[in-house]
Structure 1
């Protein structure tokens, strides 16, 4: 309860993150593509910190709920803070299908071109405009789920993880399912983490999904969701949502996908705390699983620092939050949390200095936390008068 009362306001950060729209021209697709962008709310708190990217297919319908859930989950360090990019698709059938069918001649079979667009033109354009890290996740539903499955099985893809919600694996007589027997064991230079799910869909959708799971089990063994995490280069996870329909499943499916892909990623999910050195070692050890070493983000510094402070490891909390303010010097929340840690550690003068910095930054950014930050500042000033 002590942690809940101390952290609830700072961890439930529903601040309106920087968002925007942009259009890029694809030479590969010979088309103009509309994008929606949502940056982490901490993006402006540093000038050099880089964020992983989550590319959401069918962005016009799937972007908003996924971006909101990413913001919530990352605020509690359940998943990393991500730049979320919604990509609108002008020709879903052609873009998302890996083979061309006679009845859809010239209107299908463009998946490889679309993959090249995403991995070269899109990621390059994002890299020129935003501070993106070299870790990329792709999410797709239905026909877009077929495409994200195709990307997951492509050995030389630039994506590190893929989400396939109710994928249309039935396409072309289960073509991708059959191809997966050899693609799943193909040589890779980095790990791929692949989440697949199915809702209450009947007939060919369900049978193709079942066939894909059987194929993966036969080729790679049971998914890590059934046994301890695998170190194999293609790591797959599957879940079923029988109470969801094809239309409703993306909401819960993407949340469960992100939680599954980043299971055990949170270094301190409960009240057992770590010092800064142990936190960094923890994420260094995760590199073998993810193929990428995640640096501590602003939300993590805040979560881990406050937890340590409230669990009476105030020296640990101060150290974590001190480094957090160095990496994210414009974060009013981290400065305010550092003031809390100093106060709990009995360093009132330093707490007041940190609190004053938090107030200044909160006023400059018109922070939604201004009143709470001012309240702590007033409380700390009152201690000097006692």
Structure 2
């Protein structure tokens, strides 16, 4: 984990597990912003692998459940592992609205300046201190959902995906919707997911207008999906909305969603084609190597499983997860010497990382040692 407490812009206040909270001193906003960073479980398993980043608006309230769901979903290779960054909003009305209303003069319309803070100050500092890949997703709810919609429509050069949960599209007489129109071909493309719960009046009207406009516009810089959650309220919908939104913006990411299996060569081909179709490259991470390797092993293709897991340990040489799974694959292949060696590696790194899998890893290690006697 990067030692952010040594940087002038960061003042470390608290840290637990893979999550850190600190104050970021923004010169652009002239205020301190609370930032929370959750690193993927596999972050210490490699010194070189870079992760996509998810920026969570309203980080004080939305960070925990989103980070937890990402950990679960990425463990089963449904979405990539992500570095999750929660950004607290000191002034939601000012920061998340892109136009200034007369009745809120001086208190609204600051989205452009807030974006400058994120793009010019926060992201460069985060990239300096964490291994971040060139792929940024932004998620927001309500007013911050309006803001993530603003980024999708105006800042395709800065982000690759946006999630807007119950966005406040009604702001300034639905001004944001006037920005949805046919555009010339753009070198940048944004994947945009927006959703609405059962909500009255201007919230519902804004989403209906959005549905109509997107159905009739040919915005070449957008790949979009809209969903309604009729059993949810405005306050409850961020939980399911972000899960479905992440599935949407990373649609097709899981190379082996069912019991079918692929060889390492087939996986490499799949992700090469995924990068071309989606417009961005997200390399295989620990859990993908692990899930795909174990699937192949248990579905009768032991040589495929071994090859995938061996490739995983080459990319992530400090991963107790991959070494333990490789030990399983070796054991099932009757290669007990290699299985014990891999298991010893798994134990070494499980202890080093204080791994939550330590009991399972030690159990296999003891079993392999008894078999070797």
Q: Normalization by structure 2: what TM-score? A: 0.93
Count matched residues.
358
1:69 is aligned to: 69
1:195-227 per-residue CA deviation (whole Å, 9 max, x = no partner) reads: 000001110010011101111111039xxxxxx
Return the alpha-carbon distance in structure 2 between the equivalents of residues 57 and 317 of structure 1: 40
Q: How much is the aligned-residue C-alpha RMSD, in angstroms? A: 1.4
Contact (CA 8 Å) 1:140, 1:147: kept in 2 or not? yes
Q: Secondary structure at the match of 2:36?
A: strand
Return the alpha-carbon distance in structure 2 between the equivalents of residues 63 and 28 of structure 1: 24
How far does residue 134 in structure 1 lie from its aligned partner after superposition? Answer: 0.3
Return the alpha-carbon distance in structure 2 between the equivalents of residues 263 and 292 of structure 1: 12
1:145 aligned onto 2:157: no
The runs of 5 or more residues in structure 2 that have no matched partner are 1-15
For residues 49-68 of structure 1, the aligned pairs below 5 Å read 49-68=49-68
Contact (CA 8 Å) 2:161, 2:192: kept in 1 or not? yes
2:284 is aligned to: 296
2:204 is aligned to: 206
2:83 is aligned to: 83
CA pair 287-17 structure 1, distance change in 2 beyond 3 A = farther
1:215 is aligned to: 213
1:355 aligned onto 2:352: no
1:334-371 per-residue CA deviation (whole Å, 9 max, x = no partner) reads: 10000001111221111111111111222222222222
The runs of 5 or more residues in structure 1 that have no matched partner are 1-15, 222-231
How far does residue 308 in structure 1 lie from its aligned partner after superposition? Answer: 0.6
Return the alpha-carbon distance in structure 2 between the equivalents of residues 161 and 338 of structure 1: 34
How far does residue 82 in structure 1 lie from its aligned partner after superposition? Answer: 0.2
How far does residue 190 in structure 1 lie from its aligned partner after superposition? Answer: 2.2
1:47 aligned onto 2:47: yes
1:123 is aligned to: 123
Give runs of ≥4 in structure 1 deviating > 4 Å.
none
Return the alpha-carbon distance in structure 2 between the equivalents of residues 70 and 60 of structure 1: 17
For residues 311-326 of structure 1, the aligned pairs below 5 Å read 311-326=299-314
1:38 is aligned to: 38
1:160-201 per-residue CA deviation (whole Å, 9 max, x = no partner) reads: 00000000000111101122125xx25432221000000011
Contact (CA 8 Å) 1:28, 1:113: kept in 2 or not? yes
Contact (CA 8 Å) 1:135, 1:292: kept in 2 or not? yes
For residues 121-270 of structure 1, the aligned pairs below 5 Å read 121-182=121-182, 185-220=183-218, 232-270=220-258
1:273 aligned onto 2:261: yes
Q: Secondary structure at the match of 2:289?
A: helix
Return the alpha-carbon distance in structure 1 between the equivalents of residues 351 and 67 of structure 2: 26
1:267-291 per-residue CA deviation (whole Å, 9 max, x = no partner) reads: 0111111111111111111113332
Return the alpha-carbon distance in structure 1 between the equivalents of residues 93 and 49 of structure 2: 37
Q: Normalization by structure 1: what TM-score? A: 0.90
1:91-113 per-residue CA deviation (whole Å, 9 max, x = no partner) reads: 11111111010000011111111
More deviation, 371-380/333-342: 371-380
